Structure 1
Amino acid sequence: MRKIGIIGGTTPESTCYYYRKYIEISREKFGPFTFPELLIYSINFGEFKNNPRGWEGRKEMLIKAAKALERAGADIIALSANTPHIVFPEVQASLKVPMVSIIDALIEELKRRGVKRVLLLGTKTTMTADFYRNALKEAGFEVVTPSKEEIDEIDRVIFEELAFENLKSKPYLVGLIERYVEEHGVEGVVLGCTELPLAIKSGDVSVEVFDTAEIHMRKLIEMAVDF
């Protein structure tokens, strides 16, 4: 099997969720005690989030982490968060080994399930910047994003609550999703932040739930085995 390398710590709670999914999916596929080798480089999230040089500084942190994983023997590398994919091409270009994009894995899953019109939830950057929405639109999907006020509130919930595994705003998130199902005809919700699956699970709402963390980990394990 190929060795998987994950850049984590963005946030620690979502990295823990990735690890739980790694165990769950590996056991589902291979039995109780067989796992692909996994390396995790957990960055300092405070330094990352508040980097004075913005995305240029964050990109350098991610490249440093990715190269460390490459030197440690990782055969495939991933970012365990959606928003940092804003600099995914630059990080990939710095490496000799392949990276696995969470957005590419999501697009593959959306096509597999036959969903066309989705509500995109995530951090403020993910919901408002072009990199994520354009990738989905170019792949043929209709993308709906919340209002400015809702975007601000979802971003606050992510960083002030879910980042500490505080799920008190789950009813708010469920209600928001259902409103967009009723008023905007969305067929699925993309949990485009890897903290959101801590609060929203399949079955919590009346449409398909796309847990990007689980989708990503499934793709990583698939690539670790099929080469």
Structure 2
Amino acid sequence: MRTIGLIGGMSFESSAVYYRLVNEMVRERLGGLASAEVLMHSVNFEEIVSMQKAGDWDGAARRLGDVALKLQVGGADCVLICTNTMHLIAEQVAARISVPLIHIIDETAASLKAAGRRRPLLLATRYTMEHGFYADRMKSLGVEIAVPEAEDRTIVHDIIFSELCAGKVLDSSREKLMRIIEREMAKGADSIILGCTEICLILDPNNLPLPGFDTTTIHAKAAIEFSLGADRKREAA
């Protein structure tokens, strides 16, 4: 079993989900009391959010790059950035280490293509929905994403940062998200990407009007496949 390195704390609410998922998956695969070999470095999210708001992505890349290198030195055989938004700087972080960085967008695109989905609706932070890095990488992998209208993007972003990252899960916000999904269904969306690692706290991907793809679960599964040495090659679509 190879050691998984997790860059967590963005927010710790979703990092706790990652930790639970990778251990549950190892126990399911190996049985008994088996659990994952994991190293986690949890950062101060307030520091990262300040960089996001200031547009200091270079500073954020240095910070997470330092953390990734510490994980590698500590024995991690791969690294995961446990958040979609900070994959905006994934290439800079990957350049700091010599072990694989398992990329959440690549893994999500592979899952979408395997399911025959080509027009998913992305629900995520404003940074992920608007900065282009997510859409561009998905497009390069053969997937055209859709995002909500500007007003709805604000609603999703605020639910994530003001509520989910603070441990608040409100039925009223779940209803808002479902209305957004219904509006985008009418425009041709064929699936839903839970593109923020906290959204699984409020939306069940298996209880949506379209097929749901939870990036947190997809990312954790990829880490376990790497750790346990499974064949992670994907068939070409």
TM-score interval for Structure 1 and Structure 2 normalised by the shorter chain = over 0.9
Q: 1:207 to 1:66 in 2, by over 3 A?
A: same
Gaps of 5+ in 2: 231-237
Q: Give the counterpart of 2:178 among 174, 179, 198.
A: 174
Identity of aligned residues (%): 35
Partner of 2:224: 221
Shift of 1:196: 0.5
More deviation, 25-34/194-203 = 25-34
State the 4+ residue runs in structure 1 displaced beyond 6 angstroms. none
Match status 1:117 vs 2:114? no
Q: Which TM-score applies when normalising by structure 2?
A: 0.92
| Aligned CA-pair RMSD | 1.3
Whole-Å Cα distance in 1 between the matches of residues 184 and 149 of structure 2? 11
Gaps of 5+ in 1: none
3-state DSSP of counterpart to 1:18: helix
Q: Give the counterpart of 1:63 among 55, 58, 65.
A: 65
Partner of 2:202: 199
Whole-Å Cα distance in 2 between the matches of residues 110 and 17 of structure 1? 22
Whole-Å Cα distance in 2 between the matches of residues 213 and 174 of structure 1? 19
3-state DSSP of counterpart to 1:77: strand
Code of the aligned partner of 1:127: M
Q: 1:167 to 1:53 in 2, by over 3 A?
A: closer
3-state DSSP of counterpart to 1:144: coil
3-state DSSP of counterpart to 1:184: coil
Whole-Å Cα distance in 2 between the matches of residues 167 and 57 of structure 1? 31
Code of the aligned partner of 2:94: Q
Pairs aligned (count): 226
Q: Which TM-score applies when normalising by structure 1?
A: 0.96
3-state DSSP of counterpart to 2:213: strand
Whole-Å Cα distance in 2 between the matches of residues 162 and 204 of structure 1? 19
Q: How does 1:125-204 map to 2 (within 5 A)?
A: 125-168=127-170, 169-181=173-185, 183-204=186-207
